[in-house]
């Protein structure tokens, strides 16, 4: 049980923002352990150390709670991407920083990245909208940076941004499943090198005929 849950059992009243964070953290653990369909609001309330009425004061239903949790994960990913873009003015360094943001997100809370990239509730419009925002907001941030720094028009910049986001998140998820043979740093460097230089420039043929 978390410290906030213990405080609740002792009768300590938490501010609304802290209570909401506590409930989301408990929901994350329950959803990660059981999946959405098997998770129950009773179990989430018990995990958080609160009564069901307290849980329902903040979230009217299980789907509302799931969407709020998903939105928080999307916000975290977009924040990481924006911080990576703002971490340097050297575009060559921005690429590995941005790729690294996706790797760090995927390598963090496994339940978080699975909710964003592998949600089984995409048939729900609100869930699909949140999932789409994970990509669109990241693409928007990268597009703005490329447009400002590289002198490309928006359409070309957006195409490059989509490519970088797709490459980064798919590579990060693959690495997570097979990373025992490769460090995070090496995986990020390989992916960033491909994105920065392209296959032809970054990986020339090693055995060309003379």
Q: 81: which residues sit within 8 A by CB, 6+ positions away?
A: 98, 101, 102, 137, 138, 141, 142
With a cut of 90, say whether residue 193 has pLDDT above it.
yes
pTM > 0.75: yes or no? yes
> 208 — phi, psi (to 5°)?
-80, 145
DSSP one-letter code for 12: P
Q: What is the pLDDT of residue 181?
A: 84
DSSP one-letter code for 60: S
- Kindly report, residue by residue over 30-85, the tens digit of the pLDDT: 998 888 899 999 999 999 999 999 999 999 999 999 999 999 999 999 999 999 99
User: For residue 43, what are its two tokens?
Assistant: 């179990």
- Kindly report, residue by residue over 131-166, the tens digit of the pLDDT: 999 999 999 999 999 888 877 889 998 999 999 999
């Amino acid at each position: 049980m978390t410290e906030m849950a213990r405080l609740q059992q002792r009768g300590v009243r938490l501010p609304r923002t802290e209570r909401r964070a506590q409930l989301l953290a408990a929901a994350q653990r329950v959803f990660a352990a059981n999946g959405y369909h098997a998770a129950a609001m009773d179990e989430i309330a018990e995990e958080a150390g609160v009564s069901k009425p307290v849980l329902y004061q903040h979230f009217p239903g299980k789907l509302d709670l799931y969407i709020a949790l998903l939105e928080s994960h999307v916000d975290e990913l977009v924040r990481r991407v924006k911080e990576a873009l703002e971490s340097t003015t050297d575009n060559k360094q921005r690429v590995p920083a941005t790729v690294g943001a996706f790797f760090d997100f995927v390598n963090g809370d496994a339940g978080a990245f699975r909710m964003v990239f592998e949600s089984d509730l995409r048939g729900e419009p609100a869930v699909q909208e949140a999932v789409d925002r994970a990509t669109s907001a990241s693409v928007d941030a990268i597009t703005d940076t490329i447009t400002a720094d590289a002198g490309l028009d928006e359409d070309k910049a957006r195409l490059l941004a989509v490519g970088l986001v797709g490459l980064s998140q798919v590579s990060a998820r693959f690495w997570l499943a097979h990373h025992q043979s490769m460090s995070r740093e090496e995986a990020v460097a390989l992916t960033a090198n491909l994105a920065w230089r392209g296959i032809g420039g970054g990986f020339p043929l090693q055995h060309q005929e003379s």
